[in-house]
Amino acid sequence: MEKLNISLPRAVEKAITCLENCGFQAYIVGGCVRNTLLELPVNDWDMTTSATPEEMKACFKDFRTIETGIQHGTLTVLIDGIPLEITTFRNDGEYLDNRHPVGVTFSRDIGEDLCRRDFTVNAMAYHPKRGLVDLFDGQADLTKKRISCVGDPEKRFYEDGLRILRALRFAAVLDFSIAPETADAVHSCRHLLKNIAAERIREEFCKLICGVGAVRILREYHDVIGVFLPELEKCYGFAQNSKYHCYDVFEHTMEALLEAPPHLITRLAVLLHDIGKPLCYTEDETGGHFKGHGDAGVEIVKDVMKRLRFDNKTAARVTILVDYHDREIPATEKSVKRLMNKMSDEDISILMEVKRCDRLAHAKEYSEPSEAIFEIPRIVERLREENACLSLKDLKVGGEDLIAMGIPKGKEIGRILNALLEQVLDGELPNEREALMDAAQDLQGA
């Protein structure tokens, strides 16, 4: 055991003292130890203890506790308003389905708890007086910047297939490599990801693609990603035979992703923007073409988002970004107003970002982003400042006005209002009550 000084939040210190005063051992463990040693911000201060959940509840009787996962030994304790997840030392026993341990047994031995954890860098515990408990050389792997399984990689992946994707996630986020034996098992066990719940895959995959090392990992482990995203694997090595391109579809996508900020919607849209291409390839004397790949991409993206159980909002945003990625949008008020009618200002900025990344990943002579990409967000801003009319609710006449004019209730009202909006969006009609009423008169029965 090593002496080392990690400064702990007051609430964590209090929790450790409280458990020790009751005669139990307590440590911080996992991600918080790893990130502190790497001098990275800590997401949550997870703790592990020799106390069973019932014993913990007795210790923390003066605090609010939440039964987060009692059967797995996890209790959340609120100390000074900070929720601390505390889990009993645990031995996961046998795994029979590549997902869940059959019987969790509680243990009084920190060593047993650490050896059930996935990677050496995630299997360190720390106690303010006893120092670091590092039974699997996690520190050495931190120094070498690499991910290694605790124990035999294949065996660990057969216990829980999600660990395969977690290895890629940590390597991408921490910008680490994967140790050779672990890397071999990642490839050879990849089929085990088929048994894993879509939600768990999605969570890890989203973190992976937002990592600094995402592109490096996607390139090296495309076969693994292909298990749950076969459409991306189809892009791998798919030649474009076009003067506009110097990369195959997958490499083009990776080059574009290298330009994308670490923002989930943006990265998803860039990753999937050309996913429809392999379905749309045609060739003539001028070379390869991918006509309609945006539309084909939309269908695939809808499938992918459903398969990975993304929420509806994220799915809709990524879908429309892929839909629009290859459409030409002139930097005119008219076209920008139409775009604002279809998506939020934030998504328009993201669309421009997607277009910029896409462009930069073209052959050198065609890689200059168009001026429109930078001009369009400025037009959006100006239209917002002017309170421009963008949708039916901004129109200075409503259904009641038309009814008062004697137009019958029903479909006709909607048709006229939409026609008025079209004219206002196109700048053919001012958004003024009188002009709109006159125009409505003309449209009636038209």
Residue 87: enclosing H or E segment and its boundaries?
strand 82-88
Query: Among ligand ATP, Mg ion, none, what does residue 300 contact (CB within 5–8 Å per kind)?
Result: none
The C-alpha atoms of residue 224 and residue 233 are separated, in whole angstroms, by 9
Question: Is 117 or 293 the residue whose CB approaches ligand ATP more closely?
Answer: 117
16, 19, 30, 277: which one binds ligand ATP (CB under 6 A) = 30
Question: Is 204 or 274 the residue whose CB approaches ligand ATP more closely?
Answer: 204
Instruction: Determine if 90 is a binding residue for ligand ATP (CB under 6 A).
Output: no
Residue of 138, 137, 141, 48 lying closest to 91 (CA atoms): 48
User: What amino acid is encoded at 412 in this protein?
Assistant: E
Query: Among Mg ion, ligand ATP, none, what does residue 162 contact (CB within 5–8 Å per kind)?
Result: ligand ATP
**CA quadruple 172, 177, 178, 179: dihedral, nearest 10:** -170
Q: What is the DSSP string of 125-152?
A: EEETTTEEE-TT-HHHHHHHTEE-BSS-
Instruction: Single out the segment in contact with ligand ATP by CB under 6 A; choices: 159-167, 180-188, 226-234, 328-336.
Output: 159-167
Q: Considering only residues 42-61, where is the footprint of Mg ion by CB under 5 A?
A: 44
* Minimum separation from the CB atom of position 162 to ligand ATP (A): 5
User: What amino acid is encoded at 169 in this protein?
Assistant: R
Query: Among ligand ATP, Mg ion, none, what does residue 376 contact (CB within 5–8 Å per kind)?
Result: none
Q: Considering only residues 101-120, where is the footprint of ligand ATP by CB under 6 A?
A: 117-118
Q: 106: helix, coil or strand? A: strand
Instruction: Single out the segment in contact with ligand ATP by CB under 6 A; choices: 155-163, 297-305, 318-326, 427-435.
Output: 155-163
Question: Is 204 or 323 the residue whose CB approaches ligand ATP more closely?
Answer: 204
Residue 322: enclosing H or E segment and its boundaries?
helix 312-324
Question: Is 113 or 353 the residue whose CB approaches Mg ion more closely?
Answer: 113
* Minimum separation from the CB atom of position 117 to ligand ATP (A): 4
31, 83, 292, 369: which one binds Mg ion (CB under 5 A) = 31
* Minimum separation from the CB atom of position 232 to ligand ATP (A): 23
Query: Among ligand ATP, Mg ion, none, what does residue 160 contact (CB within 5–8 Å per kind)?
Result: ligand ATP
Query: Among ligand ATP, Mg ion, none, what does residue 231 contact (CB within 5–8 Å per kind)?
Result: none
The C-alpha atoms of residue 37 and residue 313 are separated, in whole angstroms, by 37
Cα–Cα–Cα angle for 145, 147, 148, rounded to 5 degrees: 125
Q: What is the DSSP string of 353-416?
A: HHHHHHHHTS-GGG-PPPHHHHHHHHHHHHHHHTT---SGGGSS--HHHHHHTTPPSSHHHHHH
Question: Is 118 or 231 the residue whose CB approaches Mg ion more closely?
Answer: 118
Tell me which residue has its CB nearest to ligand ATP. Answer: 31
Per-residue contact string for residues 44-83; x = within reach of ligand ATP by CB under 6 A: --x-------------------------------------
Residue 90 contacts residue 116 (beta carbons within 8 Å): yes
The encoded tokens of residue 319 equal 């879908």
* Minimum separation from the CB atom of position 172 to ligand ATP (A): 11
Residue 86 contacts residue 27 (beta carbons within 8 Å): no
* Minimum separation from the CB atom of position 3 to ligand ATP (A): 22
The encoded tokens of residue 265 equal 């919607």
* Minimum separation from the CB atom of position 314 to Mg ion (A): 21
Chain-centroid distance of CA 20 in Å reads: 39
Q: Considering only residues 411-440, where is the footprint of ligand ATP by CB under 6 A?
A: none
Q: 98: helix, coil or strand? A: coil
Q: 264-272 and 293-307 helices cross at what angle (nearest 10)?
A: 130
Instruction: Determine if 83 is a binding residue for Mg ion (CB under 5 A).
Output: no
90, 163, 337, 356: which one binds ligand ATP (CB under 6 A) = 163
The residues that touch Mg ion, with contacts defined as CB under 5 A, are 31, 44
